[in-house]
């Protein structure tokens, strides 16, 4: 059997023929001494035994193995190569636990972003808010920063109140068919949009049983929740209701008053079915009309407004009262009245009688007032005594014109004289 010698200092295997150790440079053949612990030969200037690590100048304790027994034991062969340390089971458990924790953490973050902050979540949240008649919550899913319009004459602003009325029917049975990336048109002088920030959603929904399709654009917000999650908001998401009605006619949508515009009524509205009608007033009436507002189309409503029978009776009564007042005049030509006659001589005991009251035509003007004209003329007759004490009589066909308007919620007639 061939025996391989090792360096007495570092225990590296010696190559035959060399005069010193190739690893540490210790000259070969130098004086050695035995390790007091394991009895291996160690260079005299070594502080520690390269075999057992014992301090050379430290005596062996009383429990150390006797030198005689150590001499009888075969010498331990040292591995001249450095071996990596093998990790134990605890190390593997710790490393595995850390890896599992990271997987759960990032997986949880992904699932939260995927389901709680996904475009589909924004769409379902928007439709759920409408189904609950919650306009403020629905507004939070829209991006354009639309706010609720005030109650004054601010036409075109979004009115949340009609959603809370009993006449509102929200959309239902939302179905998201597909969501794809899409680009936004770059404004002049602006930077190209980031395609990853926008999604285009193809959806289906129903409105009182009628199916509709629409395309909505969603924008990924830069603001984050908890510093990690990005919300999606709907770009637009509103349409409008346009109501054609005479100027000054009060219009209500689901029982809520709508501010008037110069040429009608325009109301920004959420998707849904609305009931449009004329508000309570002394002049006008119209049957209620339903309006379906979709995500891709608005609603145009033409209210068939008619003058109330009570208002017409009131106007006719005021015109008759005016004519009766004229008939009480004792002049052949009453001042400010539509009828008169002429005589060459003096006539006394003048008495006017309305034989036929005129038939009136009452129409609304662009200014919101009522125009009064004569559709069929009236007839007034007059009697009296001439200067010769002979009977005098005459008649006159007459017409009436004027206007009627509301003053302090009452109809007031003004006759043109």
Q: Is residue 95 a part of any domain in this protein?
A: no
pLDDT tens-digit readout, 201-211: 999 999 988 99
Report how many helices (DSSP H) and strands (DSSP E) the chain contains, helices first. Answer: 5, 22
What does the DSSP assignment read for 139-194?
HTTBSS---BPPSSS-TTSB-SGGGGSTT-B--EEEEEEEEEE---PPPTTPPPP-
Average pLDDT (340-345) is: 91
Mean pLDDT across the stretch 115-140?
86
Residue among 4, 76, 81, 82 at smallest CA distance from 40: 76
Residue 33 Cα distances to 40, 56, 188, angstroms: 8, 9, 91
Q: What is the reported pLDDT for 396? A: 96
At 252, phi and psi to the nearest 5?
-125, 140
Q: Among 79, 100, 133, which residue terminates a domain?
A: 79
Q: How confident is the model at residue 149 (pLDDT cuts 50, 70, 90)?
A: very low
- List the structure tokens of 127: 């439709």
| Angle, alpha carbons 296-272-262 (nearest 5°) | 75
Return the pLDDT at 104: 55
Residues 134 and 160 in one domain: yes
Residues 334 and 228 occupy one common structural domain:
no
Please give the tally of structural domains in the chain.
Answer: 3
Residue 391, SS3 per DSSP: strand
Cβ pair 26, 20 in contact under 8 A: yes
In this prediction, residues 146-170 reach a mean pLDDT of 63
Q: Which of 306, 321, 350 is the last residue of a domain?
A: 306
What is the percent of the chain where pLDDT is above 90? Answer: 36
Q: Is pLDDT of 380 > 70?
A: yes
Q: 159 with 221, same domain?
A: yes
Q: Does 271 lie in the same domain as 385?
A: no
Note the pLDDT of residue 175: 94
Assign 154 a pLDDT band (cuts: 50, 70, 90): very low
Helix locations, 78-158, DSSP H: 89-111, 119-131, 135-139
Q: What pLDDT is attached to residue 365?
A: 79
Tell me: do 279 and 317 sit in the same domain.
no
If DSSP codes are grouped into helix, strand and coil, which group holds residue 309?
helix
Residue 176: the pLDDT is 92
Condensed to tens digits (0 to 9), the pLDDT of residues 101-113 reads 666 555 554 444 4
Whether pLDDT at 60 is above 50: yes
In the sheet that holds 378-385, the strands lie side by side as: 348-356, 378-385, 391-398
Label the pairing between strands 229-235 and 210-225.
antiparallel
Residue 182 and residue 45: Cα distance in Å, rounded? 79
Q: Is the domain of 140 the same as that of 279?
A: yes
Kindly report which listed range (199-208, 361-370, 393-402) carries the lowest average pLDDT score. 361-370
**Lowest mean pLDDT across 55-69, 128-142, 180-194, 198-212:** 180-194
| Most confident of the ranges 76-85, 184-193, 292-301 | 292-301
Is 127 found in the same domain as 257? yes
- Residue 368's alpha-carbon distances to 31, 260, 299, 302, 363, in angstroms, are 127, 12, 24, 17, 10
Q: Are residues 135 and 240 in the same domain?
A: yes
Pair 71, 174 in one domain: no
Rounded CA separation 111/174 (Å): 23
Q: What is the pLDDT of residue 157?
A: 58
Report the CATH number at residue 259.
Answer: 3.10.450
Query: pTM score, two decimals?
Result: 0.60
The confidence score (pLDDT) of residue 195 equals 47
| Segment 262-321, tens digit of pLDDT | 556 888 889 999 999 998 888 889 999 999 999 888 899 988 888 899 999 999 999 999
91 found inside a domain: no
Residue 131 or residue 182, greater confidence: 131
Say whether both 214 and 289 belong to one domain. Answer: yes
Domain of residue 23: give its range: 1-79
Query: Chain-wide mean pLDDT for the chain?
Result: 80
What is the predicted pLDDT for the residue at 262? 58
Among candidate residues 233, 225, 222, 196, the one with its CA nearest the CA of residue 119? 233
Same structural domain for residues 301 and 332? no
Share of the chain above pLDDT 70, in %: 76
pLDDT higher than 50, residue 349? yes
Both 208 and 327 in one domain: the answer is no
Instruction: Decide the pairing of beta strands 391-398 and 378-385.
Output: antiparallel
**What pLDDT does residue 74 have?**
53
Instruction: Give mean pLDDT, residues 373-382.
Output: 96
What are the pLDDT digits (tens) for 209-259? 899 999 999 998 877 655 557 889 998 888 888 888 877 788 889 888 887
Least confident of 17-21, 299-303, 311-315, 392-396: 17-21
If you average pLDDT over residues 44-72, what whole number do you get? 68
Range scoring the smallest mean pLDDT among 35-39, 104-108, 322-326: 104-108
Mean pLDDT, range 321-349, rounded to an integer: 94
- Residue 312 confidence (pLDDT): 94
Higher pLDDT, 389 or 76: 389
Confidence of residue 148 (pLDDT cuts 50, 70, 90): very low
């Amino acid at each position: 059997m061939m025996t391989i010698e090792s360096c007495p200092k570092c225990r590296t295997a010696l190559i035959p023929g060399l005069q010193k150790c190739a690893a540490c440079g210790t000259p070969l053949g130098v004086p050695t001494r035995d390790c007091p612990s394991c009895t291996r030969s160690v260079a005299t200037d070594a502080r520690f035994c390269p075999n057992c690590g014992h301090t050379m100048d430290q005596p062996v304790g009383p429990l150390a193995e006797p030198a005689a027994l150590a001499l009888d034991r075969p010498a331990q062969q040292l591995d001249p190569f450095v071996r990596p340390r093998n990790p134990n089971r605890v190390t593997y458990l710790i490393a595995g636990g850390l890896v599992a924790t990271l997987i759960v953490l990032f997986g949880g973050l992904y699932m939260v972003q995927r389901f709680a902050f996904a475009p589909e979540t924004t769409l379902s949240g928007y439709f759920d808010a409408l189904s609950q008649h919650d306009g403020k919550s629905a507004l939070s899913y829209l991006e354009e920063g639309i706010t609720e319009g005030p109650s004054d004459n601010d036409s075109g602003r979004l009115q949340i109140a009609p959603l809370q009325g009993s006449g509102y029917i929200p959309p239902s049975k939302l179905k998201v068919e597909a969501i794809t990336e899409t680009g936004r048109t770059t404004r002049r002088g602006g930077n190209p949009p980031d395609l990853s920030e926008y999604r285009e959603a193809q959806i289906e929904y129903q409105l009182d049983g009628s199916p509709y399709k629409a395309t909505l654009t969603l924008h990924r917000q830069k603001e984050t929740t908890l510093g990690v999650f990005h919300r999606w908001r709907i770009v637009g998401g509103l349409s409008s209701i346009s109501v054609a009605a005479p100027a000054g006619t009060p219009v209500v949508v689901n029982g809520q008053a709508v501010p008037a515009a110069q040429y009608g009524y325009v109301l920004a509205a959420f998707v849904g079915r609305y009931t449009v009608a004329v508000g309570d007033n002394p002049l006008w009436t119209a049957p209620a009309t339903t309006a379906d507002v979709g995500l891709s189309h608005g609603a145009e409503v033409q209210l068939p407004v008619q003058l109330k029978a009570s208002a017409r009776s009131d106007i006719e009564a005021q015109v008759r009262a005016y004519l009766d007042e004229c008939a009480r005049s004792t002049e052949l030509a009453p001042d400010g009245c539509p009828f008169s006659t002429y005589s060459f001589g003096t006539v006394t005991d003048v008495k006017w009688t309305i034989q036929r009251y005129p038939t009136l035509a009452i129409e609304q003007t662009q200014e919101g007032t009522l125009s009064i004209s004569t559709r069929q003329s009236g007839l007034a007759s007059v009697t009296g005594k001439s200067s010769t004490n002979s009977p005098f009589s005459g008649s006159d066909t007459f017409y009436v014109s004027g206007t009627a308007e509301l003053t302090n919620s009452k109809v007031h007639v003004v006759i043109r004289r």
